[in-house]
A and B are shown apart, each in its own frame.
Chain A
Amino acid sequence: MRSKDGNDEAMIKVSGLTKSFGDNKVLDGLSFEVAGGEVVAVMGSSGTGKSVLLLQMVGLIVPDAGEIEIDGVKVTSLTERELLGFRSRVGYLFQESALYDFMTVAENLAFPLREHTKMTTAEIGSKVAQFLEYVDMPAEGDKYPSQLSGGMRKRAALARAMILGTRVLLCDEPTSGLDPIRSRDISLLIRDLSKKLGCTTVITTHDVVNAFRTADRTLVLDSGRIVAQGVEKDLRASTDPFVKEFLEG
């Protein structure tokens, strides 16, 4: 068991994370923590390394330096085989949704259950129906992803990411490519489901309005570091030139 120090409740701990691709230094000693059950947005302009950050959190990119600890597991020191088991406990929503296009929506949702649980077909069916209900597309189960709108694909992918009862949810730019109304809907849905299912959630975004709408706390990422953080009021009051410019658009 871990010692009872002050950080014990943190579900996600990232410290000193550094990553370069060749000469391109993307993350430069990035550190932050997320408490259990908290919803946090990491905000930054395109190409600042938001995707790279999330991919490192599930071991799909290996950092040059720094540590990541999620739910008591040191991600950075897992082997490839251990990573597979670990990843099934973390939900990941890709920017492109990344549903399998050779499966129906219901089959997509059933896939992780079939892979990682011993549930019967009937149990899987009712769990899938429940999650389709959660994301408000109860009648869409038999459709293929190509038959859905972008917003629906996002919601279906969200359901697939959460269906294993994951405690940690990572969403990469959930609103990108969606119109303002769909963006608002998916943002609120991520927030509601995270709270309802007790997930600790990190979303990345460059969408200021929806970051504040979704998150309990927003971190601003610039030049590979967190330059400011807090609720909307704190950030609006920030004197950091990048934060000011970013928020004022």
Chain B
Amino acid sequence: MVAAVAELLGTVGRSFLFFGEVMSYILRGKIRWVDVFRQIYEQGVQTLLIVMMTSFASGAVLAMQSQVVLERFSAKEFIAQLVALSLVRELSPVFTALVFSGKAGAGMAAELGTMSVNNQIQATRTLGVDPIEFLIVPRVLACMIVLPILGVLSEILGIVGGYVIATTQAGIPGVYYYHQTVNAIGYVDFFCGFVKVCCFAVMIGWISCYQGFYTSGGSLGVGRFTTKAVAFCYISVLVSNAFLTRLVLTIWGS
């Protein structure tokens, strides 16, 4: 029991040191932009389509359910607001982060994990190159760039999904839906979601790279550490979302 707690504290401490090291490279501008762009491309390619599909479907479902609920109060014309605000403030940031963890996060952890068990990370050191600077910083940074973009894209696709349902099923005129949406989303709503997705990006990059970088135990280890990375990403996204929501509501009010 004591040993388990001590080990957990050790892991937490080590992961904060790791994060500090990564951030110090970024802040000092020790950034390999070519590798960053390669990572942006890879993470983008891995996740773009699946984020678009899931967002469109979520927006559509949201509109269907809103229609049912709002019709009970004869307030069908508010579908656009409900869909837009739910997506922008809450659903898109969280959904995108979860999908991204499962795809790009797992990808990074598995890739780095394989490199770790094949000694490619040690080999980087023997070549006189710092593996954090060469392998980790570009991935974390790419994450911090790709995920917010995906988040905004997800909001747009979700709204489009809602639009399709609202205009075809609920009989709401397209132009009206559009104006309702644009008027509904204030700066505060947008930034509330954007701040969240940026925080998730940092966490996912950090957790996935940390787990990958310290993978041991051969190919079994790669599987184990990758699963762990995804699980930790899910937990930290969902738990921190509760705190972030409270924080945002406190700062910007409701």
Using a CB–CB cutoff of 8 Å, the interface residues on chain A facing chain B are 55, 58, 60, 84-90, 92, 94-96, 98-102, 111-112, 115-116, 160-161
Contact = CB atoms under 8 A, between A and B. Distances in A.
B128 A92 contact: no
B123 A115 contact: no
B128 A115 contact: yes
Contacts of A85: 128
Interface in B103-152: 111, 114-115, 118-120, 122-123, 125-130
A96 B118 contact: yes
Contact of A84 (B111, B119, B120, B128): B128
A92 B120 contact: no
Nearest to B114: A101
Contacts of B114: 101
A47 to B, nearest CB: 16
B126 A92 contact: yes
Contacts of A86: 128
Contacts of B119: 94-96, 98
23 contacts: A55-B122, A60-B126, A84-B125, A84-B130, A85-B128, A86-B128, A87-B128, A88-B128, A89-B128, A94-B119, A94-B122, A94-B126, A98-B118, A98-B120, A99-B123, A100-B115, A100-B123, A101-B114, A101-B120, A112-B129, A115-B127, A115-B128, A161-B126
A54 to B, nearest CB: 10
Contacts of B128: 84-89, 112, 115-116
B120 A90 contact: no
Closest 5 A-B residue pairs measured CB to CB? A88-B128, A98-B123, A92-B126, A98-B119, A87-B128
Interface of B: 111, 114-115, 118-120, 122-123, 125-130
Given A84-B128, A94-B123, A98-B120, 7 more contacts: A96-B118, A99-B123, A101-B115, A111-B127, A112-B127, A116-B128, A160-B127
Contacts of B127: 87-88, 111-112, 115, 160
Nearest to B135: A100
A51 to B, nearest CB: 10
A90 B122 CA distance: 14
A95 B119 CA distance: 9
A85 B128 CA distance: 6
Contacts of B122: 55, 60, 94, 98
A160 B122 CA distance: 14
B126 A115 contact: no
- Count chain B CB atoms within 10 A of each CB in A84, A86, A99 and give the residue with the most: A84
A224 B205 CA distance: 41
B210 to A, nearest CB: 19
A86 B129 CA distance: 11
B81 to A, nearest CB: 46
A55 B123 CA distance: 11
A102 B107 CA distance: 13
A146 to B, nearest CB: 11
